[in-house]
Amino acid sequence: MKFGFFTMPEHPPIENWTLSYDRDIAAIVEAERLGFSEFWIGEHHTGGFENVPVPEFIIAKASAVTHRIRLGTGVINLPYQDPFLVAERMAFLDHLTHGRLEYGFGGGGLPTDKQLFGLEPSEAAPRTNEALEIIWQLLTSEEPVTYEGVYWKYENRQLQVGPYQDVPPFAIAGLTGLHNFAKCGARGWKPLSVHFAPIDNGSYDLAPDLVSMAKAMLDAGAEAGIDPAVTRENWRIVREVYVTDDKNQAMRDIREGVKRSYDYLFGLGLGALMKIGDDMTDADLTFEWMVEHIPWIIGSPEDCIRQIKELEEAVGGFGTLLINCRDWVTTDKWNRSLELFARYVMPQFTPRERLARRKRMADVALGLAKS
């Protein structure tokens, strides 16, 4: 398993946003130092909390001060934008990052963004599907592209600058429905399951759960002849994560920040994505309930190791756990959480660390075992 970050990012509207962008860049630099493999940055245009309208700019700046970590758009909201210009920007950014770019796309998660651009919610999925196909053709075809769809029509369009990577690594995030997960499975792309999704929400059908997402991508991948192991390796799951000395302390540390964040999300009507039954109301989505039932990964390093193993077993395996990057605590507490995660949690899921060998050698040295 690999580890990375997903950030909307979310910063309180009362703070200095220039400084918040500096912290976002610093977070990416710190993630690379600690050995995380990737960092995804979102795009939003309204709401007052999620304050990055152009994630490509953050990625361009971050690529100049990092060397290894992969950087992803998490995600470019396709319904609002000309697909040719998106493809052109992403191909150019691929060069600026020297091939460290992850091409993340989606249909846009904020209802207020759709209102800003005058988009009917029912149009988001078909516009996204058209845009994805156009962008893929522009990035992978050696010939000019002609496309006639419902929303976009191109004749003999070709990018002047093609992508740096031979095959652009596409990823799609999905909030509602399973079509994006099936598409990723069928095309060999990377599905992103955001932090709202419970593991299993039973018969509740207003939003998909992780079990349903896995089935959709695996079924579509099998039909396309793609190895299920590859499909699972491509899968990214985002979770709320916070590590400290024990679970009670973790709950105390983040409680105020959680309330601020989730009051905002509930106000946007996104509480429906977290429920596990038709009879649940937003009032039922308490802090304690979400920690236990989404579930979140919080507590001591030992707690977090156990919770990740439980998540892995419940969904049948996945490739990368993405930590949802939050402004819930002070920077020093957040950085300590990440340090604990990198030092004590990540090695348990990293074969090259060879922890069993280390333990045997330590036991021999301490006289607890024979050589």
CA distance 282 to 265: 11
Spatial CA neighbour of 169 closest among 74, 67, 85, 61: 74
Chain mean position to CA 28: 14
pLDDT tens digit sequence for 306-326: 999 999 999 999 999 999 999
Q: What is the CATH number of the domain that holds 238?
A: 3.20.20.30
Q: How confident is the model at residue 236 (pLDDT cuts 50, 70, 90)?
A: very high
pTM for this entry: 0.95
Let me know if residue 337 belongs to a domain: yes
- Asked if the structure places residue 370 within a domain, the reply is no
Mean pLDDT for 205-224 is: 93
- pLDDT, the chain, mean: 94
Q: Specify the number of domains making up the chain.
A: 1
* SS3 label, residue 65: coil
For 314, the domain range is 2-365
119 within domain boundaries: yes
The DSSP-derived string for 125-144 is HHHHHHHHHHHHHHHH-SS-
The answer to whether residue 37 is domain-embedded is yes
Burial of 64 (C-beta count, 10 Å sphere; 0-12/13-18/19+):
exposed
**Spatial contact of 209 and 293, defined as CB atoms under 8 Å apart:** no
- Residue 270 in any domain: the answer is yes
* Chain length of the chain: 371
- Does the residue 183 lie in any domain? yes
Q: How confident is the model at residue 367 (pLDDT cuts 50, 70, 90)?
A: confident
